[in-house]
Amino acid sequence: MAGLPYQVDARAVEDPDKLEAVVRDVLRGDPDLVILGGGDGTISGLVDLLVGRDVVLGVLPLGTANSFARTLGIPLTVEGAVEVIRAGHRRRIDLGMIDGDYFANCAAMGLSPQIAETVPHGLKKLFGRIGYLGWAGFQFTRFKPFTLHVDDGTTKRKMRVVEVRISNGPYHGGTWLVDEASVNSGEIVVQAVRGHYKRTLIRNWATSFLGMKERHHDTISFSGKAIRIDTEPRLPISIDGELLAETPVTAKIAAGVIEVMAPPAPTPPAA
């Protein structure tokens, strides 16, 4: 742009399959800032490319849940997110890892991966959100609790569960679920929703959506630098909405490996 002390390279990518190649091409120019517009899946799918580079990530929350933006305190409007980038405040944050792959916000085992694995191609595009929710309801009738094995390096636990969340931040699906998780904690958090009956999952999601303290009645959390996870039976894992792994896995934290444009972190209250 003439008259400006910097160069701007804006790319509109209509085909999601070409997005990674476009970002790789942009990074060849050694930019100071890369702004990604999309949802949690877009951010998680591309964040690996930014690790180890002297580049700052800017986020335009254009997805459905925008859990990563919520965690960082980024406004969910384009205007608000642009203002955060314009203000220029950088935060160095953690990323989660599933085996060797980085992710931004949250991975899950249970009903949500089952939906993602089975949903007919193009259903949401053809019938919208109603069609997708209808499919989710159908899959709930087929969903079964499963057995979780957790090894945090000091303790091994086995339990019957209805959902497992591997969290680098407190939000999942746009709802605050995991109190212990933070992008600055230096630890990964594995939260299990315990139960032998799938109605426990409905109760947990409902109380979480309403912000009720009862949401903790059925959960147990494990924190650490690395946590080994296995299930009976073996299950797929959705990572910020995309099916990218299968149990068993090791969930890890990559502390402070990336910088983002975000409002300053809240100051903890004085002791």
For the segment 252-266, the average pLDDT, to the nearest whole number, is 91
pLDDT given for residue 64 in this prediction? 82
Region for residue 81 given its phi and psi (left: phi exceeds 0; alpha: psi -120 to 50; beta: otherwise): alpha
pLDDT given for residue 5 in this prediction? 54
pLDDT given for residue 3 in this prediction? 43
pLDDT given for residue 132 in this prediction? 62
> What class is the 103-254 domain?
mainly beta
Question: pLDDT tens, 124-176?
Answer: 566 556 666 676 777 788 889 999 999 998 889 999 999 999 999 999 888 89
Question: pLDDT tens, 19-71?
Answer: 889 899 999 989 999 999 988 888 998 999 999 999 999 999 998 889 999 99
Q: Where are the domains of the chain?
A: 103-254
pLDDT category at 266 given cuts 50, 70, 90 is low
pLDDT category at 112 given cuts 50, 70, 90 is confident
Question: pLDDT tens, 200-254?
Answer: 988 988 898 888 888 889 999 999 999 999 999 999 999 887 888 999 999 999 9
pLDDT category at 271 given cuts 50, 70, 90 is very low
